[in-house]
């Protein structure tokens, strides 16, 4: 299969650049999640610290307060008991002992009270302590009175104790009992506050963890989604053509093999079409790569729309497509589809705001007739496509086995061409252009011949296209131009000083940047004066990049050489269009000369060209003049210069001199005018 440049490379690179996007998303997703976890953890820790601080306060402050209150209650109670026992006791030693304990109780009580007063207290607690202080203050003088009465008046002391001291002390104990319950209440409140704060902290933790989990879930889902998409994109990219979205060669081969396996099971036919857009390079050259890409996409769309869903349409690269028609029972079914595709592709296109006509050549191979596997079927469809192209484009060709031999031959020719130049196998033959008025040959056209070592002499039709494709034409043209110029210079010295030479320049040679230099070198090397050299350019050149073509022609004309349009009338150019180019001569294609006698339209065409050329001061040459009748007609229409087998076939250089020496009026004189 031939290699063609791919317009879609730029697009592929663009897509490659998108891919790190999901990696950034993935990374930022994880960072967000990590930050959230950090945030939640720090809030949780803070709340925990606050809760434990609360609890610590409950334990340290409230428990302590309770224990101090308890101490105060106990000491007050013991003091009352000791006072009572002192009153009851008759033993003065025991009384002393009890008094000591009584005093210790007071110390214990006061120490606890002092400490309690230093603790954080509620107003109610403070109030109760103050009340207790007042009650104690009023009970102490009574107790002192009881002490004074001890010993001698123990009955009075007992009476005072029971009547006043104990009730006063009970009041103190009452106040203390209230204080005790108040501290307990405060402690309970504080602990329930701490528990509540703990609950709040816990709820916050739950809520935030829930949110973090939710966000984490979303991030993970997004990451999975992105990763899946990236994987799908990568897979699509690996199996599809970026420009058209069609399956690429890999996927196509796979599908074709599936179709073949199915066809084997069901005893069906499979058609493989190899499709190549005609003159795609011209579209690329004229409309640029963007235009070319657009045409390819349009063609892809049309191909897809023309086949069934189970058929396969793929792009192999460049302007090459393949279509597989599956589940066919008869070859005619496949050919119907082929004809439908051909018709669809040749409908006009709207590209870059202009209407464009395109066509394609299709090669068809059929399973199992033309191959048992995908490789052979594709190869044979390709070979058939090449034949479709060679036999005139915008057509299809069914593969047949003889084509393989031809493909083989072509490959051999390619190898032979490779060596032909270094072995000097290329030569020029020369064909005269006769001026009917002077009866002299005024110009000879150099025509390429290849002295093939095995096949003998070959005309350009057998190898020129291949020589152009391989680029060998540049080197051949350059080398032979020098030779031809030398040849004409030698004819000048041999006594034909007015003879000019016409050399064919193909599109590839014309656009090659070395052309002007090659012409200069040929003129210098041969010493030929430039006005004797004419370059024949084909119409295609004038249809491409007009500005560039004009400036190139001007550069050539700057050297002093003449420029002719070859094969005029076969392409799409009009004289109106050609007016924009600085030309010297126009060669009317032999197609119009051939039928000049039968088709009036050709005569009309030639006469209008002649008239217009006269107006534009363009010389004209009628090509392919083969008989006297054609010559006479042309002469009558006012044509001055003719070229064709009637005068002479192209001949080797050695045979030219005798043609130059002849006065042709003897043969094609005016007397034959009567023959009209």
The residue assigned the tokens 């769309």 is 301
> For residue 309, what are its two tokens?
């869903």
Q: Minimal distance in Å, beta carbon 443 to Ca ion? A: 11
Q: Of residues 602-631, which lie at the interface with ligand C2E (CB under 6 A)?
A: 624-626
**571 touches ligand C2E by CB under 6 A:** no
The residue assigned the tokens 């009992």 is 177
The residue assigned the tokens 């076939």 is 649
**539 touches Ca ion by CB under 5 A:** no
Of all helices (H) and strands (E), which one includes residue 481? Answer: helix 472-493
Binds ligand C2E by CB under 6 A, chosen from 320, 425, 566, 603: 566
Q: Are 465 and 477 in contact (CB under 8 A)?
A: no
> What is the per-residue burial (b if ≥16 Cβ within 10 Å, else e) of 506-519?
bbebbbbeebeebb
Q: Minimal distance in Å, beta carbon 631 to ligand C2E? A: 11
Q: Minimal distance in Å, beta carbon 602 to ligand C2E? A: 15
Q: Minimal distance in Å, beta carbon 606 to Ca ion? A: 15
Q: Of residues 51-80, which lie at the interface with Ca ion (CB under 5 A)?
A: none
Number of residues near ligand C2E (by CB under 6 A): 24
* Selection from 496, 587, 513, 515 nearest residue 557 by Cα: 515
Rank residues 310 and 475 by Cβ distance to ligand C2E and give the closer one: 475
447 binds, among ligand C2E, Ca ion, none (CB under 5 to 8 A by kind): ligand C2E
**464 touches ligand C2E by CB under 6 A:** yes
Q: Minimal distance in Å, beta carbon 337 to Ca ion? A: 39
Rank residues 36 and 505 by Cβ distance to ligand C2E and give the closer one: 505
- In the three-class reduction of DSSP (H, G, I as helix; E, B as strand; rest coil), residue 373 is classed as coil
624 binds, among ligand C2E, Ca ion, none (CB under 5 to 8 A by kind): ligand C2E
**425 touches Ca ion by CB under 5 A:** no
Q: Of residues 511-540, which lie at the interface with ligand C2E (CB under 6 A)?
A: 536
44 binds, among ligand C2E, Ca ion, none (CB under 5 to 8 A by kind): none
**650 touches ligand C2E by CB under 6 A:** yes
Q: Of residues 594-633, which lie at the interface with Ca ion (CB under 5 A)?
A: 623
**644 touches ligand C2E by CB under 6 A:** yes
Query: Binding string, 431-460, against ligand C2E, x = CB under 6 A?
Result: x--------------xxx----------xx
Q: Are 343 and 246 in contact (CB under 8 A)?
A: no
The residue assigned the tokens 């060709």 is 397
75 binds, among Ca ion, ligand C2E, none (CB under 5 to 8 A by kind): none
Q: Minimal distance in Å, beta carbon 504 to Ca ion? A: 5
Q: Minimal distance in Å, beta carbon 474 to ligand C2E? A: 10
In 10 A of CB 667, how many CB atoms? 14
Q: Minimal distance in Å, beta carbon 446 to ligand C2E? A: 6
Q: Minimal distance in Å, beta carbon 403 to ligand C2E? A: 24
Of all helices (H) and strands (E), which one includes residue 331? Answer: helix 331-345
**133 touches ligand C2E by CB under 6 A:** no
Query: In Å, how far are 176, 262, 309, 311, 337 from 333, measured between CA atoms?
Result: 115, 18, 16, 13, 7
> For residue 95, what are its two tokens?
């009384």
Distance CA 182, CA 190 (A): 12
Q: Minimal distance in Å, beta carbon 635 to Ca ion? A: 20
Rank residues 572 and 645 by Cβ distance to ligand C2E and give the closer one: 645
Q: Minimal distance in Å, beta carbon 518 to ligand C2E? A: 12
* Selection from 470, 363, 361 nearest residue 413 by Cα: 470
**331 touches ligand C2E by CB under 6 A:** no
Q: Are 566 and 504 in contact (CB under 8 A)?
A: yes
Stretch of 219-227, 259-267, 371-379, 500-508 lying at the interface with Ca ion (CB under 5 A)? 500-508
Rank residues 425 and 566 by Cβ distance to Ca ion and give the closer one: 566
Residue 482 sits at φ, ψ, to 5 deg, of: -60, -45
In 10 A of CB 354, how many CB atoms? 11
> For residue 455, what are its two tokens?
């096949």
Q: Could you tell me how many residues make up the chain?
A: 676
For 524-612, where are the E strands, in sequence order? 533-538, 562-568, 585-588
Binds Ca ion by CB under 5 A, chosen from 293, 536, 539, 603: 536
**278 touches ligand C2E by CB under 6 A:** no
Q: Minimal distance in Å, beta carbon 506 to ligand C2E? A: 4
Residue 361 sits at φ, ψ, to 5 deg, of: -110, 135
Rank residues 320 and 623 by Cβ distance to Ca ion and give the closer one: 623
* Selection from 116, 111, 109 nearest residue 79 by Cα: 109
H-assigned helices in 89-165: 92-118, 123-149, 154-160
Check whether the bond before 421 is cis (ω within 30° of 0).
no
> For residue 78, what are its two tokens?
């013991």
Q: Of residues 488-507, which lie at the interface with ligand C2E (CB under 6 A)?
A: 504-506
Rank residues 126 and 281 by Cβ distance to ligand C2E and give the closer one: 281
311 binds, among Ca ion, ligand C2E, none (CB under 5 to 8 A by kind): none
**599 touches ligand C2E by CB under 6 A:** no
Rank residues 357 and 645 by Cβ distance to ligand C2E and give the closer one: 645
**566 touches Ca ion by CB under 5 A:** yes
In 10 A of CB 58, how many CB atoms? 20
Q: Are 174 and 134 in contact (CB under 8 A)?
A: no
**504 touches Ca ion by CB under 5 A:** yes
Distance CA 511, CA 419 (A): 25
**567 touches Ca ion by CB under 5 A:** yes
Q: How many CA atoms lie within 13 A of 553 on its CB side?
A: 24
Q: Minimal distance in Å, beta carbon 461 to ligand C2E? A: 6
Rank residues 416 and 566 by Cβ distance to Ca ion and give the closer one: 566
Q: Who's near 101: CB < 8 A, 6+ residues apart? A: 78, 82
Binds ligand C2E by CB under 6 A, chosen from 156, 254, 567, 584: 567
- Give residues in contact with Ca ion (CB under 5 A): 504, 536, 566-567, 623
- Give residues in contact with ligand C2E (CB under 6 A): 431, 446-448, 459-461, 464, 473, 477, 504-506, 509, 536, 566-567, 590, 624-626, 644-645, 650
């Amino acid at each position: 299969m031939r290699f063609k440049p791919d317009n879609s490379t730029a697009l592929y690179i663009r897509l490659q650049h998108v891919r790190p996007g999901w990696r950034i998303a993935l990374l930022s997703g994880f960072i967000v999640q990590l930050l959230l976890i950090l945030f939640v953890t720090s809030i949780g820790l803070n709340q925990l610290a606050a809760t434990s601080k609360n609890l610590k306060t409950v334990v340290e402050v409230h428990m302590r307060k309770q224990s101090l209150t308890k101490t105060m209650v106990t000491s007050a109670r013991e003091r009352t008991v000791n006072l009572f026992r002192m009153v009851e006791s008759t033993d003065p030693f025991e009384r002393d002992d009890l008094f000591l304990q009584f005093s210790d109780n007071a110390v214990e009580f006061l120490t606890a009270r002092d400490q309690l007063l230093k603790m954080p207290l509620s107003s109610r607690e403070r109030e109760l302590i103050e009340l207790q202080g007042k009650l104690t203050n009023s009970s102490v003088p009574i107790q002192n009175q009881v002490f004074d009465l001890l010993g001698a008046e123990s009955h009075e002391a007992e009476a005072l104790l029971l009547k006043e001291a104990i009730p006063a002390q009970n009041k103190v104990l009452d106040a203390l009992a209230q204080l005790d319950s108040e501290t307990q209440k405060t402690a309970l409140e504080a602990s329930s506050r701490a528990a509540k704060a703990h609950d709040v902290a816990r709820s916050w933790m739950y809520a935030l963890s829930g949110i973090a989990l939710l966000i984490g879930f979303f991030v993970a889902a997004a990451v999975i989604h992105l990763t899946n998409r990236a994987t799908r994109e990568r897979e699509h990219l690996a199996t599809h053509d970026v420009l058209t979205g069609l399956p690429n060669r890999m996927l196509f081969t796979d599908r074709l093999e599936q179709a073949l396996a199915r066809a084997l099971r069901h005893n069906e036919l499979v058609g493989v079409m190899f499709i190549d857009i005609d003159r795609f390079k011209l579209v690329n050259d004229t409309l640029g790569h963007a235009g070319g890409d657009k045409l390819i996409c349009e063609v892809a769309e049309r191909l897809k729309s023309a086949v069934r869903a189970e058929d396969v349409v793929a792009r192999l690269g460049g302007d090459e497509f393949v279509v597989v028609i599956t589940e066919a029972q008869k070859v005619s079914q496949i050919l119907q589809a082929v004809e439908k595709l051909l018709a669809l592709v040749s409908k006009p296109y709207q590209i870059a705001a202009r209407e464009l006509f395109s066509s394609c050549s299709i090669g068809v191979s059929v399973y199992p007739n033309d191959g048992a596997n995908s490789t052979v079927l594709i190869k044979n469809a390709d070979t058939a496509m090449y034949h479709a192209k060679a036999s005139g484009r915008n057509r299809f060709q069914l593969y047949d086995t003889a084509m393989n031999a031809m493909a083989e031959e072509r490959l051999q020719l390619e190898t032979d061409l490779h060596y032909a130049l270094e072995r000097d196998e290329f030569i020029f033959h020369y064909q005269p252009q006769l001026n009917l008025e002077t009866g002299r040959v005024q110009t000879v056209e150099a025509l390429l011949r290849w002295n093939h070592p095995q096949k003998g002499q070959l005309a350009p039709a057998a190898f020129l296209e291949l020589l152009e494709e391989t680029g060998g034409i540049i080197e051949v043209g350059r080398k032979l131009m020098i030779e031809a110029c030398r040849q004409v210079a030698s004819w000048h010295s041999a006594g034909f000083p007015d003879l000019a030479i016409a050399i064919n320049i193909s599109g590839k040679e014309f656009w090659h940047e070395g052309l002007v230099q090659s012409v200069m070198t040929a003129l210098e090397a041969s010493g030929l004066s430039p006005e004797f050299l004419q370059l024949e350019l084909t119409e295609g050149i004038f249809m491409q990049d007009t500005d560039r073509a004009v400036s190139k022609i001007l550069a050539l004309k700057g050297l002093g050489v003449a420029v002719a349009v070859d094969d005029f009338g076969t392409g799409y150019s009009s004289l109106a269009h050609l007016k924009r180019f600085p030309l010297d001569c126009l060669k009317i294609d032999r197609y119009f000369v051939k039928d000049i006698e039968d088709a009036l339209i050709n005569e009309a065409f030639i006469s209008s060209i002649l008239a217009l050329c006269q107006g534009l001061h363009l010389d004209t040459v009628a090509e392919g003049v083969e008989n006297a009748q054609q010559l006479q007609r042309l002469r009558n229409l006012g044509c001055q210069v003719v070229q064709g087998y009637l005068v002479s076939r192209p001949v080797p250089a050695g045979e030219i001199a005798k043609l130059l020496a002849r006065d042709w009026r003897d043969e094609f004189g005016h007397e034959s005018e009567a023959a009209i």
